[in-house]
Structure 1
Amino acid sequence: MKKAILTLKLDGETKTDTLDNIADKGLILHVPSHYIGQEIPITFTCKDFLPIDTVMVLSGEMTLDIRRDSRVYGQVHFRLWNPDKEQAVSNCRVTVNGRETRSDENGYIDLFLPLEEQRTAYPVTSDIPLLEDSVYMPSGEDDVILTE
């Protein structure tokens, strides 16, 4: 987890904590006791996680459920490209992280991997020789794997 920002807004005053680790607990100090039991706006932002912007009833200890953005490392998208022919490689069988798929008519691979399989890079194999053996995440329309 990259730096996460937890923010509480109290009548024009903003209280913030920065977390460096997923195991860290956010600690907001010096909150006047008269806010206990009141609804307060809370936000959470962190790269690769879904943002939270909500209102909660303030208590002495609170839990905020955070979730990774599964699209960041789960949505694998790249294009197979033959540089010698200067064209996309269509209808080619490709295996990404052990999951088999085929490139479309424009050479694109589009595959979603479930959260428990997600990584920052995935091995890629194909029926045809590839010049690279991995796709690095996040990936997108501009990413290519070159073929021989």
Structure 2
Amino acid sequence: MLKYLIRILLVILLASCSSTGGKDHLRSKEITLQIVNTQEKNQHFLLTVITDGKETDQAAAVLPKSFIIITNENKEAKVKLNLTTKYTIKVAKTTVKNIDELQNKKKSGQKVAGPLLANVKFTPTKHSDTLKIKINNDIHKKVPELPNSE
């Protein structure tokens, strides 16, 4: 009887381990973030990715988090995001090309990012592969003042 009970417990344990592990690839996905509408070549962008987190129908929850990433020369960056979780992605130009250079310049007090160019809300799905973020290069140009109409 004890051997039979041990076998049943072992089967239940193996079944529970395999069922949660089988869905792990469905919970998050690598997404390519791509900056478009810019004519500049070899321009890098600083992306800040933020989520408030969310509760799931399972025991696990997606905790709030924030991280930064720098695009490559093609104005792209790959990030692993949780599916069906809302993210805010902020975009700014940067002169740095990697995180090490960013940290070194920040430590020395240098400015590492320009003004905010885009602020995008995004919720990845299992069909998401690429998020194209459109920026307006003219967004921060000074608007000419109107002549005084007195």
What TM-score does the superposition give when structure 2 sets the normalisation length? 0.43
**Which structure dedicates a bigger proportion of its chain to strand?**
1
Higher relative contact order (CA 8 A, sep 6+): 2
**Which structure dedicates a bigger proportion of its chain to helix?**
2
